[in-house]
Structure 1
Amino acid sequence: MSGKDLKLGVVGLGARSKLAQNADQPDQGSSVVAICDPIPASQESGLANFPGAKAYGDHRDLLDLGLDGVFLTTPDHLHEDPAVDFLEAGIAVFVEKPLAITTEGCDRVLEAARRSGARLYVGHNMRHMPVVQIMREQILAGAIGEVKAIWCRHFVGHGGDFYFKDWHADRSKTTSLLLQKGAHDIDVMHWLAGGYTTRASAFGELAVYGGITDRTDRTGQRFSEFVDEANWPPLEQKGLAPVMDVEDLSMANLQLGNGVLMSYQQCHFTPDYWRNYTVIGTAGRLENFGDGPGGVVKVWNSRRSGYREDADVVIEIPNAEGGHAGADPRLVQEFLTFVRNGSATLTSPIAARAAVAAGHAATTSLRNGGNPVDVPELDPELVAYFERGQTS
């Protein structure tokens, strides 16, 4: 493919579709030539973001355009079927996380990639975020010894503004926010721990937003049209989704195949919005305070009695140009290089499936009294295929 622009499509023109603008560089290696969304207003705004593209209303209209790759930035429940269609048409696919909303859906996409030989990439951009890379570098350098436990507290301060006003609140479109939002964090924890969840147990409730009766159908709207960050306290929210059957408070315990134990806690009615990871090893622990520029990662690996704010190592989290502290442009560049050369990537379809499978198992447990649920094993031949870099 060298010497010419990659021809790219974008399917799903919501807020996350702007990610693909990093790939729209005509005469510099790649250009977006086709965009797709069933909503005419979204097509119109999409053409403003991708002026060299032609708009379509059905993703199947893009299958015969000779595309080299496509970005799937649709709502979560619309990842699986289009991904399979594009892969079977021989088109490389970037699937925004999560890969699908069920473990079985993930396996179907993975199998389509292997069967077709088309390249599959999953947009777990947090692997490119400075805060995560700093933590991983410290772990690989042996700063805390061998990892034994990880927990993550995810304070989703914009939960009522974002996720309980549109399709995110409908379990038929997400399975749960424990999966939808948690896929990011579970993937990060898996990466830091060097293993995947084999068993999950969880509890959760629709503890706050379920009692709010002011509802609005926001079909066709985007975040920018209904977000009001001035809303406080959470019980004062207005215009929540007509269908709201996912939990706003979830707590999951996860057991990994390598013996590491993890805990994930997610709350959608906190006053702040950030993630706190704590990683404990055989020789210390590390923790982030803030997950973007201005925050720090601290490492404690000498003995002390009581809490001391002055850690043994303090690393400032840097900023970089582009979304998510520079992670988004790096993610897109990695995908484009992968499409061209099949080179190694930080993201992994197998890891993406593992994150969904953990969230799916935890959700099943949560809705069945907290009983432990085992994660189904993935076909070893599929694992081998992707570990070889998607080559036969």
Structure 2
Amino acid sequence: MTDLRFGVVGLGARSRLAQHAHKPGEGSRIVAVCDPVEKQQLAARADYPGATSYGDHRELLDLQLDGVFVTTPDDLHEEPAIEFLRAGIAVFVEKPLAITTSGCDRVLQAAYESGARLYVGHNMRHMPVVLTMRELIAAGAIGEVKAIWCRHFVGHGGDFYFKDWHADRRRTTSLLLQKGAHDIDVMHWLAGGYTTRANALGGLVVYGGIDDRMDRSEQRFAEFVSNDNWPPLSQTGMAPVMDVEDLSMANLLLDNGVYLTYQQCHFTPDYWRNYTVIGTQGRLENFGDAPGGVVKVWNSKRSDYRADADEEVVIPAAAGGHAGADPRLVAEFVRFVRDGGATLTSPTAARAAVAAGYAATTSLRSNGTPIDVPPLDATLTKYFDNGQTRA
């Protein structure tokens, strides 16, 4: 089997995903890497011996690549994705698909017009905790889903999101969109619907009080992340531009009548997600979101709180980043590039997650005014729901 030839554009922390596609002689390899920062290029060349390096993604357009991983900062997803798609190159775009709803629609339109395959890196659809909850719901453990609540404790938020480009709303819109796109997509998937209306509140309530700032554009991610940075107000070297919220709370109404609540905090001591899914015949909740944690189900009787749930499922172990999700995600993309077919991830779902986050952010910055989500063009919906093939 001839190796598929892939490129990687944007060589920051998330670009390490592409290592799962570098299997020379086994079906795929990384042959080109791209980043404007020389330090990033040097590190990538060590990871991919023989790969050529570039400073501008346009230099990859004529390399006869089979696919490309776009793992740039969020505001640089849209244009490179469109250019590669128009060149007939399959594209893996790290989530979020774009930082605006209209940006997502432009990428989807380019994929539709070119026929090139588009894949969005919503790796949580491959995480064991999410798959465990989805299987329980599909088996009828809690009846018909009516509400989902997600609390996201982003314990590493000060290091991960307030010391570089993530803190600048021009580059992310908000962390309610940037970080929340994962959880909104998961809740949409578990609930079987997409957001039509959102309202939200939030603010920059902790990190905005820190005056110590530093430009880290030439640093690599590992150079400024440490668990020793505690408590939150002891942080130093924050981003020069810091105008996104570190606390946000959103309410979402789906097209099938299900209600969602999403809460995100970037200054907690712990880092994990807690989902509660409530149905017509019970509820389930995860305690821990990594292997070894559990999903508990209460569905047999009324009671006060009881730790002895009616069913308890241990979250299974899996090798690889994000509880085994990253290698599964990349394997699915490589298979999709070669063979097409169905995938757990979905470009329309990725658009729906961004659209919900964008509407919620607009509401948050408008004193909680409810905001309606514009529907996706029916032609695009049909195309992507049909596996990116025309009927």
After TM superposition, the score normalised by the length of structure 1 is 0.99
One-letter code aligned to 1:60: R
2:326 to 321, 328, 344: 328
1:262 offset after TM fit, Å?
A: 0.2
1:125 to 115, 120, 123: 123
Q: Which residue of 2 aligns with 1:148?
A: 146
Q: Which residue of 2 aligns with 1:215?
A: 213
1:178 offset after TM fit, Å?
A: 0.2
Structure 1 segments of 4 or more deviating over 6 A? none
1:237 to 235, 238, 248: 235
Q: Which residue of 1 aligns with 2:69?
A: 71
1:220 offset after TM fit, Å?
A: 2.1
Q: Which residue of 1 aligns with 2:47?
A: 49
Give distance in 2, aligned partners of 1:70 and 1:220.
Answer: 24
Q: Which residue of 1 aligns with 2:306?
A: 308
1:61 offset after TM fit, Å?
A: 0.2
Tell whether the 8 Å contact from 1:299 to 1:311 is kept in structure 2 after alignment. yes
The Cα offsets for residues 329-383 of structure 1, whole Å up to 9 and x where unpaired, read as 1100100110011110000000000000000000000000100000011100000
Q: Which residue of 2 aligns with 1:358?
A: 356
1:157 offset after TM fit, Å?
A: 0.3
Q: Which residue of 2 aligns with 1:206?
A: 204
One-letter code aligned to 1:369: N
One-letter code aligned to 1:385: Y
Secondary structure in 2 aligned to 1:259?
coil
Q: Which residue of 1 aligns with 2:385?
A: 387
Give distance in 1, aligned partners of 2:177 and 2:17.
Answer: 21
Which deviates more from structure 2 when the two are superposed, residues 118-127 or residues 222-231? 222-231
1:52 offset after TM fit, Å?
A: 2.6
1:49 offset after TM fit, Å?
A: 1.2
1:90 to 80, 88, 107: 88
Give distance in 1, aligned partners of 2:329 and 2:271.
Answer: 23
Secondary structure in 2 aligned to 1:60?
helix
1:25-40 equivalences in 2 (<5 Å): 25-40=23-38
1:161 offset after TM fit, Å?
A: 1.4
2:156 to 155, 158, 172: 158
Q: Which residue of 1 aligns with 2:224?
A: 226
1:195 offset after TM fit, Å?
A: 0.1
1:232 offset after TM fit, Å?
A: 1.5
Give distance in 2, aligned partners of 1:276 and 1:167.
Answer: 27
Gaps of 5+ in 1: none
Tell whether the 8 Å contact from 1:201 to 1:371 is kept in structure 2 after alignment. yes
One-letter code aligned to 2:112: R
One-letter code aligned to 2:197: R
Secondary structure in 1 aligned to 2:132?
helix
The Cα offsets for residues 109-155 of structure 1, whole Å up to 9 and x where unpaired, read as 00000000000000000000000000000000000000000010000
1:17 offset after TM fit, Å?
A: 0.7
1:265 to 263, 285, 288: 263
Secondary structure in 2 aligned to 1:13?
coil
Give distance in 1, aligned partners of 2:220 and 2:260.
Answer: 34
Give distance in 1, aligned partners of 2:19 and 2:304.
Answer: 49
Give distance in 1, aligned partners of 2:165 and 2:140.
Answer: 42
1:108 to 106, 109, 117: 106
Q: Which residue of 1 aligns with 2:371?
A: 373
Q: Which residue of 1 aligns with 2:79?
A: 81
Give distance in 2, aligned partners of 1:325 and 1:268.
Answer: 21
Give distance in 1, aligned partners of 2:231 and 2:27.
Answer: 48
1:325 offset after TM fit, Å?
A: 1.1
Secondary structure in 2 aligned to 1:77?
helix
1:303 offset after TM fit, Å?
A: 1.3
Give distance in 2, aligned partners of 1:191 and 1:376.
Answer: 19
2:57 to 35, 41, 59: 59
Secondary structure in 2 aligned to 1:138?
helix
Give distance in 2, aligned partners of 1:133 and 1:236.
Answer: 38
Secondary structure in 2 aligned to 1:162?
helix
**What is the RMSD of the two structures over their aligned residues, measured on CA atoms?**
0.6
Give distance in 2, aligned partners of 1:237 and 1:278.
Answer: 32
1:6-17 equivalences in 2 (<5 Å): 6-17=4-15
Tell whether the 8 Å contact from 1:18 to 1:49 is kept in structure 2 after alignment. no
